[in-house]
Amino acid sequence: MHRAFPNAAILPAVFLAACHASAVTPAPAIEGLPVVRVRHADGSDATDLRPVGAPVSTSEKDGTVVTETFKDAKHALTVRVCKKTFTAYPAVEQWVEVVNNESGPVVLDRVESSAPTLRSPNGVWLKHFTGSWANELNPVEAKVEKAVSLATKRGTRVSEDTPPFFFLSVGGPIQENKGEVLAGTLVWNGNFAYDIAPTEGGVVAHCGLNPAGSRYTLDAGKTFVAPRMLWMRGQNGAGELARTMHKYIREKVLRDGTKTRPVLLNNWEATGFNFDEKKLVGLFDGAKETGFDLFLLDDGWFATKYPRNNDKAGLGDWEVNPKKLPHGVSFLCDEAKKRGLQFGIWVEPEMVNPKSALYEKHPDWVIGYKDKPLDLKRSQAVLDLTRPEVREFAFKVTDDLLTSNPGVSYVKWDCNRHITQPGSTWLAVDRQENLFVDYANALDDIMARTAAKHPSVEMMLCAGGGGRVDLRSLRHFHEFWPSDNTDPVRRVKMQWEYAAMYPAISVCAHVTHWGKRPLKFAFDVAMSGRLGADIDLGKLPPDERKFTARAVATYKKEVGPLVQFGEQYRLESPYAGPRAAMNFVSADKSSAVLFVYQLKDGEPAPVRPQSLDPKATYRVREVNLEEGKTSSLAADGKEITGETLMRDGIAPTCRKAVESTVVMLVKVK
Ligand code: DGJ
């Protein structure tokens, strides 16, 4: 009997085998075969895949790939199921490759990447997230008792409602420090579908490309490589899993994951589209005085025929607007440099406003339906990157900007709409459904080429909507923009949830005036991420300006290195009580920083930091005090052992909503 290969959505039972024995957390044993459904060149839908030989193991520098090969009994179709385990992480990547050696094109109705079954007599819990613009990452957790589909068909990085990662917990709801938890995410920048459903004795998770509206026609002689599904395992709860994931993302996904990030000042919240050279240079002065490293110029600097003075025009025309910037971008770089600042700039190369010279010249360059009016979102359309000349154009937007302005050291790459009319004037009539996959691959290619050609330029991955970040795109970037909502009260919860997956170094956290919260609270929240600010420093009262300068200095000197490179421990969930608390510890446990955020009024009960050296003595010091204030922390200035701190905790100073306490713990012996 050959191993049954599912070619329909209804699967035979598959099993999650017992885990490999190992001293450290072993990789999850992802068993079971993903669904592959094909219409063959002869029109037949019947696929009968049979194993060919034994699985083949190939060593790679960071792990081993085991490939099982199957051939169809009647057609010249080969399917390879590949599974990579890593030497340094309890992770598995699984994917499928389909090789078409038939006499003509085949249609791939569905090619999943992975479909494991988790066995548990007590059930399996799923945690995933919903969200929308400015309201990202709301957690939903429930026992899997009916089929759940987590999916997007939005086509771009703006998945709007469904972030591409989830967690499965075996035997009970997810706990921070106990229990077996799996994180799953498709390493893909387009449509995905995770169909998670009860099956005999467990739960099966069918994961891969979203087949809706994207049957892929694969020409004879070609190979289709489905995206990799990454599974990461934690044996001691979501906290341990998150720390493993952070390590993996820092080491294997992010660009320069071990390099300190500059503290940046962005003009978007301060000026919107309403700026000129003089105003920007004025902002530089404030930035330097307060210790920022980099100034980021946002949207609105380009287009002449239809100047980009709002979001309705100019996108696609990437020449500098001489009315706003008469001396060009290089002048701004020079002015920034004179003040010891680096300079960054905003782009959105894959989009166009119909009110632009680009669209007037190339109306056929956009994604849309030939016979229907163009459906616009934020007054813009998506460029059809499947067309080679459009791909080249989009690549050159950033490439030309960086090449002609070598002083630009940072790029914010935005994406403000999704695809609603998946039609291409480039793809043939019988290849229209290839659009979603070909578009995603083309965009990834542009990003990869940009990163490769400009290795020293840092890049922020920005997008609208609830999805925002995926592990495929993130490989070309240093960080991502988690939400336009920068109200620190909302950010406490969002950053808490992002931390389940993404390391703090990758999560851009800017101080703004959203929510009109105390500046200290806004800084304290942003300082537990990759700190930046989006404020007009010139408009701050003198005491707040002084506070800003001290907070930036504190982040650069002692808090930032711990947040960016330390291990994160989530201590008190903002969903469980009136406050949230977390600490970051350096690898050698010589220092730690503790953050406590009061979201509602409450009592200053002690917060217990984790993972200190129990035998070491730490000096306790409250930092980020408002101008003119001294610490009222009972433990401030005291020397206390790690054991005592972890057992008895520290009573923070905050007790009222939007108060916060940040405490440094530095080992003295
Ligand atoms: C959306 C981003 O999230 C904002 O930060 C800003 O860059 C705007 N786009 C600019 O249009």
User: HEC states along 146-172?
Assistant: CCEEEEECCCCCCCCCCCCEEEEEECC
Atom 10 of ligand 1, residue of closest alpha carbon: 299
What DSSP element (H or E) covers 119? Answer: strand 117-119
* HSE-up (13 A, CA, CB side) for residue 433: 15
Ligand 1 pocket residue status of 299, Cβ below 6 Å: yes
Express each pLDDT in 498-544 by its tens digit: 999 999 999 999 999 999 999 999 999 999 999 999 999 999 999 99
Token readout for 507 is: 């999560």
pLDDT at 394 over 80: yes
- State the average pLDDT over residues 610-623: 98
For 413, list phi and psi in degrees, rounded to 5. Answer: -105, 110
484 is catalytic: yes
Q: Which of 199, 150, 157, 195 is closest to 16 using CA atoms?
A: 199
Ligand 1 pocket residue status of 269, Cβ below 6 Å: no
Atom 4 of ligand 1, residue of closest alpha carbon: 484
For the CA of 298, the closest atom of ligand 1 is 7
What 8-state DSSP symbol labels residue 507? B
The set of residues, in sequence order, having a beta carbon less than 8 Å from that of 429 and lying 6+ positions away, is none
In 299-434, where does DSSP find H-type helix?
A: 328-338, 357-361, 388-404
Q: Which of 484, 491, 512, 535 to mutate to test the pocket of ligand 1 (most atoms within 8 A of CB)?
A: 484
Give dist(CA 654, CA 638) in Å, integer: 19
Express each pLDDT in 289-314 by its tens digit: 999 999 999 999 999 999 999 999 99
438 is catalytic: no
For 129, list phi and psi in degrees, rounded to 5. Answer: -135, 145
pLDDT value for 23: 45
- State the average pLDDT over residues 336-351: 97
Ligand 1 pocket residue status of 302, Cβ below 6 Å: no
For residue 247, give the amino acid letter.
K
The gap between the terminal CA atoms of the chain, to the nearest Å, is 66
CA of 299 to the centre of ligand 1 (A): 7
CA of 347 to the centre of ligand 1 (A): 10
The DSSP secondary structure of 414-429, one letter per residue, reads ------SS---SSS-G
Ligand 1 pocket residue status of 413, Cβ below 6 Å: no
Active-site residue, selected from the candidate residues 161, 298, 414, 524? 414
For the CA of 346, the closest atom of ligand 1 is 7
Ligand 1 pocket residue status of 298, Cβ below 6 Å: yes
Ligand 1 pocket residue status of 268, Cβ below 6 Å: yes
**pTM score of the predicted model:** 0.96
Give dist(CA 44, CA 167) in Å, integer: 38
CA of 463 to the centre of ligand 1 (A): 8
Atom 8 of ligand 1, residue of closest alpha carbon: 299
Q: Which of 160, 297, 299 to mutate to test the pocket of ligand 1 (most atoms within 8 A of CB)?
A: 299
CA of 611 to the centre of ligand 1 (A): 38
Predicted confidence band of residue 618 (pLDDT cuts 50, 70, 90):
very high
pLDDT more than 70, % of the chain: 96
The set of residues, in sequence order, having a beta carbon less than 8 Å from that of 245 and lying 6+ positions away, is 183, 232, 500, 501, 502, 503
Token readout for 56 is: 């083949």
For the CA of 481, the closest atom of ligand 1 is 3
Ligand 1 pocket residue status of 113, Cβ below 6 Å: no
107 contacts 215 by C-beta, under 8 angstroms: yes
The radius of gyration of the chain's CA atoms, rounded to the nearest angstrom, is 26
The set of residues, in sequence order, having a beta carbon less than 8 Å from that of 124 and lying 6+ positions away, is 118, 143, 144, 168, 169, 170, 171, 202, 203
Active-site residue, selected from the candidate residues 48, 484, 536, 613? 484
More confident residue, 159 or 279: 279
- State the average pLDDT over residues 254-281: 96
